[in-house]
Amino acid sequence: MVEELEKLAKLGSAWAAAVLGCICLNVSSDPDRAIELCERHAKNGDHYALFVYAWALLHKGRRPASLLAMERASKLGFPPATLDYVTFLWQGWGAKKRSPRGALFVLRRAFRARHPAALIWLSRMYRSGQFGAIRWAAGWLMLPVALIWQTCSDERSLFMPCILALNHVSNLQDQSVGGARLRNEFHAF
């Protein structure tokens, strides 16, 4: 399969380059190769290539560029990028400081795109306590519904374009990128 993807990427297929980029990030931990594969397509505005390119840039420690690439992929309407853009804002990756309110605002786009994990993320953000006591309680109350919603959504729509289950954030969890440790607050319920 990888050989076929390599052939397609050499022929100019953006999606093949992006899939190979994902493999480089998740299997071989080679962000340089992922950047090489996706950069041209990202600059041409391919949302999937931009998404992978953003993660590769983050792995290389180029945080501001990664934030801009993820924002662009999100604005092009790629739901996984929208949800990951929320993560970038929430964590402060690529920005001077964290932006919880900005993350909450962008999360609305994930809802509009019907991303199954959007309600889980809203629950987590509210449960952080950064939006007041009422929203903190609402976050705990919505958690069971969010878990059921995501489970049911994953079962019936595994191959919808709004779902892309990659493990980039957990790969970064214990790594230092660009001289600063990356925190991942979304993996704990």
Q: Is residue 110 part of a domain?
A: yes
119-135 per-residue burial string, b: 16 or more CB within 10 A, e: under 16: bbbbbbbbbeeebeeeb
* Helix 14-26, helix 2-10: angle, nearest 10: 130
pTM (global) more than 0.85: no
For 126, the domain range is: 2-181
CATH at 76? 1.25.40.10
Query: How long a stretch of residues is the chain?
Result: 189
Structure-block tokens of residue 119? 């309600």
Q: Is residue 187 part of a domain?
A: no
Q: Is residue 62 part of a domain?
A: yes
Chain segment 34-90, per-residue pLDDT in tens: 999 999 999 999 999 999 999 999 999 999 999 999 999 999 989 899 999 999 999
Cα gap 28→22, rounded to integer Å: 9
Provide the number of structural domains found in the chain.
1
Chain segment 91-101, per-residue pLDDT in tens: 999 999 999 99
